[in-house]
Structure 1
Amino acid sequence: MDLTGKAALVTGGASGIGAAAVRRLAAAGAVVAVADRDEAGARALAEEVGGLALPGDASEPDTMTMAVDVAEDAFGRLNIVLLNAGVTAGQSGVETLDLAAYRRIMGVNVDHVVYGLTAAVPALRRAGGGNIVVTASLAGLAPLPGDALYTLTKHAVVGYVRAVGPTLAPEGIRVNAVCPGFADTPLIAHVKPKFADFPLLAPEDVVAAIESILERGEPGECWFVQPGREPAPYAFQGVPGPKGGTLPPTGVSWAEPLTH
């Protein structure tokens, strides 16, 4: 992968999959902005790769707009945006609900993706096109029993990517999701002993799939990543959209407000 002359922004970039992605993009020749709530971690990694640190909470409405603006201003362009920040729920969301924790997972896993994409699109247009890759999960393709709220957020992200992909494709902006299984990242650190006999992905495995998406992904595809299998686009069966049948006719939309 040769990204010489390209500029990238990675959210959740200070650790785990995000940090591995920052290093891979930088090694391929891109200049990279590392966005993360962990200011010290973002600054350390940005210094390591000769990039830019952008500390902030991605779930806040203005953070992504500011991150995109600062990165584009610093680099003169923006070509690749990896919306990777994510958290777990810390609760089942079935019998009881911690409202603050619920708002937190929705804010990071869903809102940040919407904020990030809408902020990035104008910058990518100015660059003549580019790529947006969202870190979803296998839980966005199939339910994860025992973690209904995490499943909820990742299903939302997968649906969003599949809808947005064909919308932006004519402008040369390709939107995809990467859907890894359990990976050895800080996200599972609190339960890692339970995975003693379970194969885990390395962050680099997920980043290799992201590289494949950047090189040959099609608009709206959601690529699964599992141990022992080659990453590939998930084939949705019997439903409209990318890799799963035809889309509604052009011009059919529910985006306009309706009254009853």
Structure 2
Amino acid sequence: MRLTDKTAIVTGGGSGFGAGIARKLAAEGARVMVADIAVLKAEAVALEIGGLAQHVDVSDDRSVANLAEVALAVFGRVDILVNNAGITHLPQAMEDVSEEEFDRVFAVNAKSVYLTARHLVPHMKANGTGAILNVASTAGLSPRPRLNWYNASKGWMITATKAMAVELAPSGVRVNALAPVAGETPLLKSFMGEDTPEMRAKFLSTIPLGRFSTPQDMGNAAAFLCSDEASMITGAVLEVDGGRCI
């Protein structure tokens, strides 16, 4: 119970890695707000873990402001913020990605981190403590062709994590990131282009441990980085990728 008496917000917590993280944080004793644009999925996870569901569009300032307001009203304080919500564009030549797709990827994957910081960092600074965890990707460390702008958005998140860590360290707020390889999430088909046994085998052949990242893997890593056991760790990007980036 490493997170007893802690409160947490997990964006994109209704499915995939976010749900795995929400489940593990709750299992470690945290009170968890499961925030997702798919509110029915958030409600299902929240019911399972005894948490609170909240609708949020992480790319919209007013929606994120409301998320912060509700969390503070219900919990009284926010100790942990997990920026997990993310999307991708389909694999294609970089010049073929539409402007609309590009804007959406950066709104959800990058602007969201700015918006949650805008509305929750002042609270953490005032408390003199807090843990922020950004879910990046191996794509930000070892980019793959045909996912150019997704790769770039996750590279942005990694740089943002390190910049946030340096700036917020004097205030007692730690900021780290996780870099998973693809996993059994709603985005898997989008990453591969098509979900077939052949495509899975091809993808898995690039992962030395021979399997995808799981929500449980992500939850375990997140619980550690968000706990006091990691009190000397900030600005780190932990690869949860089975050796993919080696």
The bucket for the TM-score relative to the shorter chain is: 0.7 to 0.9
Partner in structure 2 of residue 203 of structure 1? 215
Task: Give the aligned CA root-mean-square deviation in angstroms.
Answer: 1.8
Paired amino acid for 1:94: M
Structure 2: distance between partners of 1:211 and 1:6: 11
* Structure 1 pair 106–93 and aligned structure 2 pair: CA distance change class (3 A): farther
Partner in structure 2 of residue 175 of structure 1? 175
Unaligned runs of 5+ in 1: 235-260
Structure 2: distance between partners of 1:119 and 1:93: 36
Paired amino acid for 2:214: A
Partner in structure 1 of residue 234 of structure 2? 219
Aligned 1:1-260 pairs, distance under 5 A: 1-92=1-92, 94-190=94-190, 191-193=194-196, 194-196=199-201, 198=204, 199-214=211-226, 215-216=229-230, 218-227=233-242
Whether the aligned pair in 1 keeps the contact of 2:20 and 2:219 (CA below 8 Å) is yes
Whether the aligned pair in 1 keeps the contact of 2:23 and 2:219 (CA below 8 Å) is no
| Matched residues, number | 230
Give CA deviations for 1:45-99 in whole Å, capped at 9, x if unaligned: 1122221111121111222221112111101111000000000112535232312
* Structure 1 pair 196–93 and aligned structure 2 pair: CA distance change class (3 A): closer
Measured after TM superposition, the shift of residue 228 of structure 1 is 6.0
Deviates most, 178-187 or 122-131: 122-131
Measured after TM superposition, the shift of residue 102 of structure 1 is 1.3
**Quick one: higher RCO (CA 8 Å, sep 6+), 1 or 2?**
2
Deviates most, 190-199 or 47-56: 190-199
Measured after TM superposition, the shift of residue 123 of structure 1 is 2.0
* Structure 1 pair 209–196 and aligned structure 2 pair: CA distance change class (3 A): same
Whether the aligned pair in 2 keeps the contact of 1:117 and 1:132 (CA below 8 Å) is no
Partner in structure 2 of residue 244 of structure 1? none
Give CA deviations for 1:217-239 in whole Å, capped at 9, x if unaligned: 6221111112269xxxx9xxxxx
* Structure 1 pair 195–91 and aligned structure 2 pair: CA distance change class (3 A): closer
Paired amino acid for 1:192: D
Structure 1: distance between partners of 2:96 and 2:45: 39
SS at match of 2:77: coil
Paired amino acid for 1:35: A
Give CA deviations for 1:73-132 in whole Å, capped at 9, x if unaligned: 101111000000000112535232312111111110011111112222122224331100
TM-score if structure 1 supplies the norm length? 0.83
Structure 1: distance between partners of 2:117 and 2:187: 23
Structure 1: distance between partners of 2:182 and 2:36: 21
Structure 2: distance between partners of 1:64 and 1:220: 24
Paired amino acid for 1:195: R
TM-score if structure 2 supplies the norm length? 0.87
Give CA deviations for 1:5-37 in whole Å, capped at 9, x if unaligned: 111000000000100111111111111111101
Unaligned runs of 5+ in 2: 205-210
Deviates most, 91-100 or 196-205: 91-100
